[in-house]
Amino acid sequence: MKKNIKFILRFFVTLSLISYLLIKVDFDKLWDILSEVNIFLFFISSFLYIVSSYISTLRWKLFISSNADITLNRLFSLYMIGCFFNIFLPGIMGGDVIKIILMRKKTGLKEAISSVFLERYMGFLALLILGISFFVIFYKKMSESWTIYLIPTIFIIFLLGTVFLYFLGRISLLKDLREYIFKTGRKLFLQAFFYSLFVQILVMISVHIVFWSLNISINFYEIVIYLPIIIILTTLPISISGLGVREWGFVVFFGGAIGYEKALAVSLLWFFSVALASVVGGLEYLKFKDFIDMQDKQ
């Protein structure tokens, strides 16, 4: 019953946001814009997503003990499988659950959860630090709007959430995670952070290339400031695969400058480029699905 209610709520959010887009966007014009896409640049954007996923795998491996019997190539397969399931599951973190399920037989459940959490956390940390840094540098060049204050607001909430989890971890079930973090060591965290910066810059470049593929001129600093907000919003399990949330974000943050139809076109093409790259994960799942005893998930 509870699952049905959650699905209905997500479906309602998705439908509401799509309805908003239907009002704002001229879909004949949208189709004309999409029909002029530069396919070569589109595929480059998709390829960069695969490259960023490989670097994310290197980051993930830092948080997995050397005793775990798993190669980097197999770990990359698991990462791409998670990306593939992100296309269908709520938010863009549903694939993390899949990665935990696949990893737990190799590392144990606690390490699987901790390593996936830290890998994701470092990604968010780098994403928000890039966003807030560019906000401080280019603040005076941004158009005066309530939207530009979202990135510092989210950054502050993220820091407060980190402090909250730190102290909560001393008295709750998060204690294992807290101990795992301290065991990891400062050097690995620093290395993971630099991997994360590289990953997020590649993601932002790939989005910029999507703009180029539609012959749309946009300042790169605007992407760095607004994209973290869009990514974090799509992370929330409030819609189906982030559908509607992502598109709404692009229309709200970029639509005023380039037009609603172009903003929606960029959002859709970015999603399609990610989905295309994630097909690799689907193929890997078919190849390695014997890696996990599916009955063990019941």
Residue 90 has what pLDDT?
61
165 pLDDT tier (thresholds 50, 70, 90): confident
- Each residue of 128-144: pLDDT tens digit? 999 999 999 998 888 77
**pTM of the full structure:** 0.85
> Which distant-in-sequence residues (6+ apart) come within 8 Å of 295 by Cβ?
none
111 and 48 in contact (C-beta within 8 Å)?
Answer: no
Q: How many CB atoms lie within 10 A of CB 93?
A: 17
Is residue 270 pLDDT above 80, yes or no? yes
> Which distant-in-sequence residues (6+ apart) come within 8 Å of 52 by Cβ?
198, 199, 202, 203, 206
> Which distant-in-sequence residues (6+ apart) come within 8 Å of 166 by Cβ?
178
Could you tell me if residue 292 is left (phi over 0), alpha (psi between -120 and 50 degrees) or otherwise beta? Answer: beta
Is residue 173 pLDDT above 60, yes or no? no
Identify which of 60-69, 91-100, 171-180, 224-233 has the greatest average pLDDT: 224-233
If we measure between CA atoms, which residue out of 15, 27, 16, 19 comes closest to residue 260? 27
Weakest-pLDDT range from 100-114, 167-181, 241-255: 167-181
Q: What DSSP line would sit under 52-100, residue for residue?
A: HHHHHHHHHHHTS-TTS---HHHHHHHHHHHHHHHTTSSTTTHHHHHHH
- Each residue of 20-40: pLDDT tens digit? 776 777 888 889 999 999 999
CA distance 205 to 213: 12
Spell out a b/e string for 49-70, using b for 16 or more CB atoms within 10 Å of the CB, else e: bbebbeebbbbbbbbbeeebeb
Weakest-pLDDT range from 81-95, 184-198, 255-269: 81-95
Q: Read off the pLDDT of each residue in 57-74 and give the average, rounded to a whole number.
A: 84
Show me where the domains of the chain are located.
Answer: 28-297
Residue 170 has what pLDDT?
61
Weakest-pLDDT range from 104-113, 207-216, 265-274: 104-113
